[in-house]
Amino acid sequence: MPAINDKLIVALDVDTLERAERFVDILYPQVKLFKVGSQLFTAHGPEAIKMIGAKGGRVFLDLKLHDIPNTVKNAVYTGTSQQAVFMMTVHTEGGIEMMRYASEGAVKKAAELKIERPFIVGVTVLTSSATTLEEVVKRALTAKNAGLDGVVCSVHEAPAVRKNCGKDFILVTPGIRSQGEETADQKRVATAQDAIQAGANFIVVGRPILEANDPLAVAEELLSSCRS
């Protein structure tokens, strides 16, 4: 497992393994955690995970699994066998039984391999969606009751989720932008410092780093914000 002070996850939302590898080479070892989401995983599957692991990085596998409980359990079971994966997502819309099965899949495979299991976190709602605070907190509590380790939520909901779910519940916050930066298609955004002050354990940053002239400089600035 990564140390809890490794807070920055860089989202490798790119279309080729070569581009993903280029960013890992630029950013590692200052950045140790990388997100593999639907775009990269659909194109290259486990090869993307293996590439990051071979270079020393750890993977946040963000596939937002949402299916019948046994299918999700089997997907998490398989994902746990990829030892570079330290955390993966399911979608809270799948319900409490599905989330329980997901947790069981991780526990079972980790026990078989005699490794630490990955964190399983539930996506509450997408940062491109408009929603109510009450709905996010309700989904977070359901995730906790299902045995998940935490949730993905925006910075704006993080304090309320932290208050209701406790200090050991993991909060992952996407939608991180610099002050005054364009928000593109994300509605609920905030700065890295806002996220840490709101109680986030991990922040997920993609475009501000990937589209920068100097990706490492931007990443280092964000890392500094996480520590301040």
Query: Catalytic residue positions?
Result: 64
List, in sequence order, the alpha helices (H) in the chain: 17-27, 38-44, 46-54, 69-80, 96-113, 133-145, 158-165, 192-197, 207-210, 215-227
Give the DSSP letter of residue 214.
S
Three-state DSSP at 119 gives strand
- d(C-alpha 3, C-alpha 106), whole Å: 20
Angstrom distances, CA of residue 37 to CA of 118, 161, 197: 16, 24, 26
Taking the alpha carbons at both ends of the chain, their separation in whole angstroms is 23
Other C-beta atoms closer than 10 Å to the C-beta of 200 total 27
Give the DSSP letter of residue 60.
E
Contact call for residues 13 and 206 (beta carbons, < 8 A): yes
DSSP state letters, 179-206:
TT---TT-SS-B-HHHHHHTT-SEEEE-
